[in-house]
Amino acid sequence: MVVANLANLNLMHVKTQLAALLFQGEEVPFDLISMWGHMGWPARAIAIVLLAMSAWSIGVMIDRWMAFSAARKQSRKFAPVVAGALREGKLDEAILVAGRNKKSHLARVVTSGLQEFRGNGKSTVVSESKIEASKRALERAEAIVHADLERGLSGLATIGSTAPFVGLLGTVIGIIDAFRKMQEHQATGLTAVSGGISEALVTTALGLFVAIPAVMMFNYFTSKIRAFDVEMDNSSSELVDYFLKSTAVTQL
């Protein structure tokens, strides 16, 4: 009985020493400011890079949101007005209306076609080559407007795909630094590395925080551009039909 009690006491003592060994070390606060203070400069540099990527992506999001909103708003006003002017055969008025809606993707495309077509002057007979020239002008304008709508989105896609890996790099560097400090201070146990690991994981969380909105907004803007492309194609087709119906086409 006495031997059993002594064995239990020894077992409890061993457990106590093991727990003390595992959890010894300096306690590290888990607020962001304290974590930043304990980060090494490599991890800080990666965090700064991620913050810069976030700021740039937010700037692109705001710029594209404003551009797309303005294009949509002005196009809704432009379409019925220019359609009425064309029905009355007032090409000059239609061009003036387009000039007042320069942020509209439809206005920019239609203006190119109208200006090319107006080069024929007041003649009621327009050659087929002139119609083809107007079609090419519309296609060139569509390509230019499409490229302008996509401005900045490639960078947004790059940030969305690379930010998690940049954050992971910061985590790996932070964990290596945590084990290096543990070796330097001859510390052991979970507490000795838990603070460093938690600080290192901050960069992974930051990378995901940067990447997720970038990917979501890239997909949103891409869908908007596809819708704008359809609208520009339809407008170009309708304008060519107008040219064909309003003139007597002759073969050269």
Per-residue pLDDT, 37: 61
Helix spans in the chain (H): 2-22, 32-38, 41-87, 91-99, 105-118, 128-149, 153-184, 190-246
Beta-carbon count within 10 A of 85 CB: 19
Per-residue pLDDT, 35: 61
Per-residue pLDDT, 187: 57
**Residues of the chain with confidence (pLDDT) below 50:** 2-26, 28, 249-252
Per-residue pLDDT, 176: 79
Per-residue pLDDT, 173: 81
Per-residue pLDDT, 149: 93
- Number of residues assigned to the chain: 252
> Residue for token digits 């930043």?
36
- Residue 93 Cα distances to 45, 82, 225, angstroms: 57, 8, 28
Per-residue pLDDT, 12: 47
Per-residue pLDDT, 161: 93
User: Are the C-beta atoms of 85 and 93 separated by less than 8 Å?
Assistant: yes
Q: Measured on CA atoms in the order 202, 204, 209, 214, is the torsion positive or negative? A: positive
User: How many angstroms separate the CA atoms of 28 and 31, rounded?
Assistant: 9
Per-residue pLDDT, 123: 54
**Bridge partners of residue 248, in order along the sequence:** 125
Please state the domain extents for the chain: 38-250
pLDDT tens readout for residues 200-236: 778 888 899 999 999 999 999 999 999 999 999 998 8
Per-residue pLDDT, 131: 79
What residue type is assigned to position 230 of the chain?
Answer: V
